[in-house]
Amino acid sequence: METFTESRQFVENPRYSKDRHDTLAALDLRMIDEPIVDIIDGFATLPHCFTVQSCYGHFLWAPEQDTYSLYPVPTKNTGCIRYRLAYIVFCIDNNPAGKAFCNSLAQIPALDPDYVQFGSAEWFWKRYVNSYALQVEPTRYKREDEALLEHAEALHVQQRRGLFFSKLRDLLETQLSEHKAG
């Protein structure tokens, strides 16, 4: 599955309000990975964006391990670790607040450009124009939805994932403050 392409330019989206309404009406926070429920719930209150899809990211090293496991990378080297990428996809309204939000999202990869990417995904764009993805994944795997990592790199990715979601929480707080201020 292709999970990343270069970011695309905003286009008019007369369906934005309906898509946002329908997506939020179907949102079931129980289906969201627990560590990021607050992020998804918070962004849902902003009128200029909505979350299309997200994943906290999963590290798998044992054959019987649940593929949605939230366990951290073990401190002891267990060999190669399969990583299912952390990401969040937003559909953004083509208005000044939406464009400013998109510009803020585009700055997040500065955390570590070798491991954090901003762009679009063709299959999301076909359903929701003006959709943009942020993901945490080694650049060499940026077009895939999982990677096989050596233990040390998995620990690095885990650390970057934590910074990534912390940065999203900071952005959410800023966005909520700006929205309340009008």
CATH of the domain at 150: 3.30.1960
Q: What distance, in Å, lies between the first and last C-alpha atoms of the chain?
A: 40
151-178 pLDDT, tens digit each = 999 999 999 999 999 999 999 999 999 9
Give the range of the structural domain holding residue 127, as residue numbers without chain letter: 16-181
Is the pLDDT at 1 greater than 60, yes or no? no
- Tell whether 2 is covered by a domain: no
- Taking the whole predicted model, whether its pTM rises above 0.85 is answered as yes
pLDDT at 2: 55
- The total of structural domains in the chain comes to 1
Asked if 114 contacts 138 with a C-beta cutoff of 8 angstroms, the reply is yes
- Tell whether 1 is covered by a domain: no
Asked if 130 contacts 12 with a C-beta cutoff of 8 angstroms, the reply is no
Is the pLDDT at 5 greater than 60, yes or no? yes
Under DSSP, is residue 142 helix (H, G, I), strand (E, B) or coil?
coil
